[in-house]
Amino acid sequence: MRYAILGTGIVGRTVAARLVSLGHDVVIGTRDPATTLARTEPAATGVPVPPYASWRAEHPQVELLTFAEAARQGEVLVNATGGRVSIDALTAADAGHLEGKVLIDIANPLDFSGGWPPVLDPVNTDSLGELIQRTFPGLRVVKTLNTMTSAVMVEPARVSGDHNVFLSGDDEDAKKEVRELLLSFGWPEASILDLGGIQTARGVEMVLPIWLQLMGKFGHADFNFHIQGA
């Protein structure tokens, strides 16, 4: 399977590397590949992220393309952009390259512009997952994995004991495909909780504030939610 990851941040890189290790073809999309590769400074937001070029050097098999070219080549798409720019990125990807494809939406619409704590936008009466599905009806959006740090997404055993990953989406076949991918990442079948349609993306996006508080409290991100008594 050929995956196109949209977004060159730590989440996109982590998912890309894992997909490669599982034998998939992976391309990464960004607004302007030349600019992304030219950056030499770590990204300024949150935890320092090494320049993309240094990650690229270690993963030469992952081509860096424009959003449009990546989306054209990808059979399955992964939204790992910042949630506040996801619609722009998907617009740049070109609706014609999205038609009928599964989009695994990992993004959270966190707005850091007002300082800490970030707030969510959209929120409560809407969600990024719904907004993407509504804006690009040809996509088969599955919201998942957004409730944990990227290292745990692709290697759940980093967190010992049982813990959960959620699925939200209107397309049952798309959710089945994503479930298979989660199993290949090492998620036990019983840990995957299908919450229902894409509207349930509201709930999983709205756990971000407490997740951020917990990360601050623990001083690390290697934790996850477990629903006890399910």
Query: Where do contacts with a copy of itself occur on this chain (CB under 8 A)?
Result: 117, 119-121, 123-125, 158-163, 166, 193-196, 199-200, 202-204, 206-207, 209-214, 216-218, 222-230
What the block records as the tokens of 205 is 């996006």
Q: How far is Cα 198 from Cα 129, in angstroms, rounded to an integer?
A: 6
Q: How far is Cα 42 from Cα 1, in angstroms, rounded to an integer?
A: 31
CB of 111 to a copy of itself, least distance (A): 10
Q: Which is nearer to a copy of itself, 1 or 210 (CB)?
A: 210
What the block records as the tokens of 131 is 């907004």
CB of 109 to a copy of itself, least distance (A): 11
Q: Which is nearer to a copy of itself, 90 or 120 (CB)?
A: 120
CB of 157 to a copy of itself, least distance (A): 11
Q: Which is nearer to a copy of itself, 34 or 190 (CB)?
A: 190
106 in Cβ contact with 15 (< 8 Å): yes
CB of 120 to a copy of itself, least distance (A): 6
77 in Cβ contact with 103 (< 8 Å): yes
Evaluate the omega torsion of the peptide bond into residue 122 and state whether it is cis, within 30 degrees of 0: yes
What the block records as the tokens of 31 is 């607004």
Q: How far is Cα 177 from Cα 91, in angstroms, rounded to an integer?
A: 24
CB of 7 to a copy of itself, least distance (A): 24
Q: Which is nearer to a copy of itself, 100 or 115 (CB)?
A: 115
Q: How far is Cα 227 from Cα 193, in angstroms, rounded to an integer?
A: 9
Q: Which is nearer to a copy of itself, 95 or 207 (CB)?
A: 207
CB of 208 to a copy of itself, least distance (A): 8
Q: Which is nearer to a copy of itself, 8 or 200 (CB)?
A: 200
Reference 204, options 116, 105, 136; nearest CA is: 105
- Give how far the C-alpha of residue 137 lies from the chain's centroid of Cα atoms, to the nearest Å: 19
192 in Cβ contact with 179 (< 8 Å): yes
